[in-house]
Structure 1
């Protein structure tokens, strides 16, 4: 655990992404001169039945009933509260030291381009505030969507504040269930958008064929070969050709989407895994070179940073670009998004906008999230 500045308030961020592979909890401080002081972090497992329900909903399944959805919302809120309390216990920090919790919730639907557009994250923040005794800021995305934006990605503002440079064009790549980019140009301009699937498809295919939650070190993909014809069919999805701002999720990129493109062909599971990994690398590199062609450094965070084959394939498609972990700049790649939601909670309490219209497409800057007092 890092040392704590007694003069600075603590903020706690909670994040569970598209993969629903755990609740990331992070404690952080934000000095007035800028930057982020990471204090402590831990990832807490979901109950198996809760995770299964969340993944099914994220992929478009309908809830069994309104009662079942309401109960799941409460259960997710209780799980988030337990993660916050668990982190404080591990860190040996009194809850009175924490000014606020920023909770992302769990996305079960993301339809920003429907009419009207909407996004929906569950995880009752009232429960978090009640069970932790800490003011909780949550529901960050829907105000941006109400203002005509995508409500995603929300991390580019945090990335710019923490990792922007006046000396080189940089990008931050989050390899979660979905991959997204923050483009940090040296002139201070910023754009960000989702590029397509990352761990959501890789983990799902691995779970189905190996019974493992993820492809450790990319070994499953490394045992196969990329099928160029299949890769071309995957890349032919019209979503990839859409211009930013854009965002997506499991409701679009899921295993049924993969099987529809496999058709009646015969493919080894390892070859499909290799091709899905190449799809992620190709869509990231293509998007980055199209929208920030002078990029010199790609800072990677999220669960995919632990897949060396995926990083190798991204780097191979980006000659001359330094592809490195965000840890090289002092930000733990496993807790980047959790720290980001801690930072967004701080911005909300200070009355500052947390969105960037250049990223989300919203009509203007908006203060994000609802505050649930302790």
Structure 2
């Protein structure tokens, strides 16, 4: 618990630095950092669900019909509950939920990685995750921190044989974001492996496996019932321009970046994806648990092979925290001064980029 607390404290320090830099940058630009964190983009959709329930559809200038049913319900539920309990406005309640969830996510990442990577790599992974270029999203009234909190602790429960907890947390993740599918797949793989090792049926393993998909399945079926179609949720996603195309649209996007000035965007983005895939492949070489690899693999697959919102790809990839472990393990073997210096540079870079990003285009 002491080492976990240290890792979470480092995480909080990195994220606090990001928020302070954002506050100073926004003040200089005549903007409100608080508004940027809790009342723009997806945050507004979540608050609308809290205030009015589901059913709102916005017609975009390009003709797309954007339904609020694209947003899963756990974060709005928690925003409503926190607002009722504390008297905070719904946007501020969203910030409170995200702040607490991000700390739980940091602790969950540490707990998972320590099982197969050791304490040094686990701590470094937590800091690297906090210092991602788009790490500021972890401090916004978005669902990423909440999802990673549920996902990481579900993985931990699955890896340590706590099957009821694994199933319930996977179901919770499935009520948070569409990529809850990744957690469900991970729990099912872990449950199958455990059942084979036992050589026969086990009620607790079976219960965890049955519980895991209930959250996501329940919401998708509810949307289908509301829209009068079993595949109603897919229709909602098509309305937003989202779909699974195997990465064809993303490849075309890379091609456009490469073919137009300043020409370096495409190669840089491709290099970043290459590093991401290297980290993932390295996990197989280092024999990370199969359930962990399945989880990150599904996250990466869904993020890179969806057909829209290319500017959101870094944010959508953020839950795949295990791809950071090879770099974290390398850092953990470096001298303390070098390790601290490198992580400090990354944290400051993340803070500056996050302030620049939110005061500019920001995450769609």
Bin for the TM-score computed over the shorter chain:
under 0.3
* Structure in which a larger fraction of residues adopt helix: 2
Q: What's the TM-score once normalised by structure 2's chain length? A: 0.28
